[in-house]
Amino acid sequence: MAGWSGFFVMAIELLSGRILAPSFGNSIYVWGGVISIFMLALSIGYLIGGHLSVHTPTLGKLGVILIAASLTSLPVVFFSDVLIDLVFNHVSDPRYGSLLASSTLFFIPTVISGCISPYAIRLLVTQLHASGQSAGKLYFISTFGSAAGTIGTSFYLVLLFEVNQIFSGLILISLSLGGIALLLNTTHE
């Protein structure tokens, strides 16, 4: 799930530029706002995920986190144009408008996605002396997923599908993986 979460976050981050561009452009200001919001959201998600992992972690709960991340991404598919227009009408400066629009659309799903890696590490660590090795493997998988999401989205997906189609596909895959985790958790209890 950590690999998919990395893919999901990077795909959304890249697509956010396409969503914001018609109103705010594609300048360094816009990308600076987008990257800042994603980094801040991930850092908060890491803290929350670490805290949640202390309280009886299960694969099913990890699946719920993934499902929550995908469900909180749905407003991007259905309301991004309306929300961006609303922000642009009140804050047309591309620096602050893109920052506010990015926060509104992407902050919550990215925070929740950030919870996945520390939570998954806790599930992997069964012996304290192997915790570093488990964390290293998980961060490898997560970062590899991020690279795949970056290349896959920027080189292929945007050429084949519209932005909302890509978002919908990402959400459906996340919901499916979260559902599988829930099913596996109930069969192993």
pLDDT tens across the length of the chain (189 residues): 889 999 999 999 999 999 999 999 999 999 999 999 999 999 999 999 999 999 899 999 999 999 999 999 999 999 999 999 999 999 988 899 999 999 999 999 999 999 999 999 999 888 788 788 888 999 999 999 999 999 999 999 999 999 999 999 999 999 999 999 999 987 654
Radius of gyration of the chain, Cα coordinates, nearest whole angstrom: 17
SS3 of 98-111: HHHHHHHHHHHHHH
Q: Write out the H or E segment, with its range, that includes residue 174.
A: helix 163-187
How many domains are there within the chain? 1
The model carries a pTM of: 0.92
CATH number, position 168: 1.20.1250
Biggest CA–CA distance in the chain, Å, is 55
Which residue type, as a one-letter code, is found at position 160? L
